[in-house]
Amino acid sequence: MPKTRKMLGYENVPCLRPLMTLMETQSKVTLAHWSTDYAQNVIYPLWSKYEPDDRRPQQALDAARAWLSGTIKLTQAKKTILACHAAAREAEESPVAQAAARAIAQCASTIHAAKHSMGLVLYGALAVAYDKLGTTAPWERIEQCAADECERMYEALRSMAVSEEPNPVKIKWTG
């Protein structure tokens, strides 16, 4: 059985460029709202499907929202987000759950640095593809399914994007 990939690469995924361009027009706060909302609605259910008793990813999403609302400090949220990263490491036997937890931890980390929102895309789209197709499907099919999910992520961000938003992020994307 071929080894599963842990995340999408930047190369050969045409939908990433428009999404990254749109992300650069938004503030860290907008990206944090978008990524946590998307993760809650699409990615967290994948985690719950495979790891129903582990609430660490939900707690990371809750902590990010609490930071966004001003009810907790970043240092408090960080502990919960790191616990979500640990959940991902522990889910090694389930590529879907592992990718989902990584996506959630990264999107929750957007409250610290906007660039982390890309983790939702690179891990989350792969979690969706693995869940739909399985890990043994040809990589080209997995990549296409992930690209389709990236398109949905783009549409979700576009629907909430702030036109001419002040303080857009300045991200230098690397692959």
* 66-116 pLDDT, tens digit each: 999 999 999 999 999 999 999 999 999 999 999 999 999 999 999 999 999
Alpha-carbon torsion angle 172, 28, 153, 174, nearest 10: 10
Q: Is the pTM of this model over 0.75?
A: yes
d(Cα 42, Cα 149) in Å, to the nearest integer?
A: 10
Q: Token digits for 82?
A: 């790191």
d(Cα 128, Cα 147) in Å, to the nearest integer?
A: 10
d(Cα 109, Cα 153) in Å, to the nearest integer?
A: 18
* 14-73 pLDDT, tens digit each: 778 888 889 999 999 999 999 999 999 999 999 999 999 999 999 999 999 999 999 999
Query: Taking the CA atoms of the chain, what radius of gyration do you get in angstroms?
Result: 15
Is the separation of the CB atoms in 165 and 25 below 8 Å? yes
DSSP state of 111: G
CA end-to-end span of the chain: 27
